Amino acid sequence: MNKKEAFELLISSLENDFSRDEAKAIARRYVEDILLPNTESPFQDYNPEMVKLDIQRLLAGTPVQYVTGYELFYGRFFKVTPDVLIPRPETEEMVQLVSSQILTNPTAILDLCTGSGCIAISLALEFPYAAVWATDVSVKALDVARENAKIFNVDVHFLESDLLANIPPIDNLQFDLVISNPPYIPSGEIHITDPNVKDFEPHLALFVEGDDPLLFYKRIAEESSRLLKVGGICMVEINRKFGMDVLTIFDQVGLKNTRLLKDISGNERFVIGLKKL
């Protein structure tokens, strides 16, 4: 089965459950993600039965990224599995801001809640002379992140840790940047979350357990004020509902020049703060 045949089969199979534009978008994504990353296994090697099985998964609501096994992030195809969050364009914007406006010649970067490793690996590639560390509480997520680092031939130090709970090897290292896209959807909002998200993506990476949706931001801010070098930056992606709350948290731990930044859609999406003497 070639690319055109698969594309047409996907559209005809999906358009009863999706609009034609949505069916085309999913079909295009499927054939491109299968064809482009796997140069050693070109799409022509995929048999019709395999494609039909993938169509059944798509019809069941499985995100196309989990079907193909890839997501394009910052110009690179990252491996994704149901053990990691699918990287979002907003997170891509955060990497762009760091690379183009926020950092210059960093020596040490720390990524918390790394998931697929897309932030840590992208920054390691942008700043090849920086030591990059990344943590996640999920062993399975770290397996995916390590595989991605191997794919891109980049050296990132991955550690299993609940944020910064288990990091004695880097306790004495001072960072130019602590960055994170932590869980920020309150657990009480699971029932109103898009089914394609709540039914397939890892709840550990999405939802904050308990009554405090700001829990991760408080911990990240407190630890950042300790681990950042003077002049270092803490940057987090946020739930747009809590921008001012996260800004206040940063102020309370003594981070300076705190700012609330909007994403390309105009939503309040990032908070940054600077460590000063």
How far, in Å, CA of 27 to CA of 21, rounded? 10
Q: Same domain for 194 and 129?
A: yes
What's the farthest any 2 CA atoms get from each other in the chain? 63
Q: Please write the tens of the pLDDT for every residue from 231-250.
A: 999 999 998 888 999 999 99
Instruction: Identify the pLDDT of residue 15.
Output: 87
Q: Last residue of some domain: 39, 68, 97?
A: 68
Q: Which residue type occupies 217? A: Y
CB-count exposure of residue 215 (10 Å: 0-12, 13-18, 19+):
middle
Bridge partners of 101? none
Q: Please write the tens of the pLDDT for every residue from 264-277.
A: 999 999 999 999 86
Q: Same domain for 197 and 123?
A: yes
Place of tokens 């940047």: 177
List, run by run, the mean pLDDT of 10-residue segments along the chain (277 residues). 79 87 86 61 60 87 88 91 92 94 90 95 96 93 96 93 63 85 76 67 70 85 87 92 92 93 92 89
Residue 249 counted as domain residue: yes
Q: Same domain for 60 and 20?
A: yes
Instruction: Identify the pLDDT of residue 272.
Output: 95
Q: Do strands 157-160 and 175-180 pair parallel, antiparallel, or not at all (unpaired)? A: unpaired
Residue 83 counted as domain residue: no
List phi, psi (to 5°) of 230. Answer: -60, 130
The 3-state DSSP composition of the chain as helix, strand, coil percent (nearest 5) reads: 45, 20, 35
Instruction: Give Cα separations from 256 to 16, 104, 253, 277 (angstroms).
Output: 54, 19, 9, 10
Q: Same domain for 34 and 99?
A: no
* CA atoms in the 13 A half-sphere facing the CB of 20: 1
Instruction: Identify the pLDDT of residue 41.
Output: 46
Q: Same domain for 128 and 210?
A: yes
Instruction: Identify the pLDDT of residue 198.
Output: 67
Token pair recorded at residue 137: 């509480």
Q: What is the 3-state secondary structure (H, E, C) of 218-275?
A: HHHHHHHHHHEEEEEEEEEECCHHHHHHHHHHHHHCCCEEEEEEECCCCCEEEEEEEC
Residue 142 counted as domain residue: yes
Residue 134 counted as domain residue: yes
Residue 126 counted as domain residue: yes
Token pair recorded at residue 196: 């394609």
Residue 106 counted as domain residue: yes
Q: Same domain for 23 and 125?
A: no
Q: Are 43 and 3 in contact (CB under 8 A)?
A: yes
* CA atoms in the 13 A half-sphere facing the CB of 135: 20
Q: Same domain for 119 and 254?
A: yes
- For 166-178, letters b (16+ CB in 10 Å) and e give ebeebeeeebbbb
Q: Same domain for 137 and 58?
A: no
Q: Which residue type occupies 99? A: S
DSSP code for 210: S
| Number of domains, the chain | 2
Q: Same domain for 100 and 216?
A: yes
Domain region containing 7? 3-68
Q: Same domain for 43 and 162?
A: no
Q: Helices 20-35 and 48-59 sit at what angle, rounded to 10 degrees?
A: 130
Termini Cα distance of the chain: 63
Instruction: Identify the pLDDT of residue 195.
Output: 67
Residue 84 counted as domain residue: no
Q: Same domain for 64 and 183?
A: no
Q: Same domain for 109 and 57?
A: no
Q: Last residue of some domain: 34, 68, 102?
A: 68
Instruction: Give Cα separations from 232 to 52, 172, 223 (angstroms).
Output: 51, 15, 13
Q: CATH number for the domain including 219?
A: 3.40.50.150
Residue 263 counted as domain residue: yes
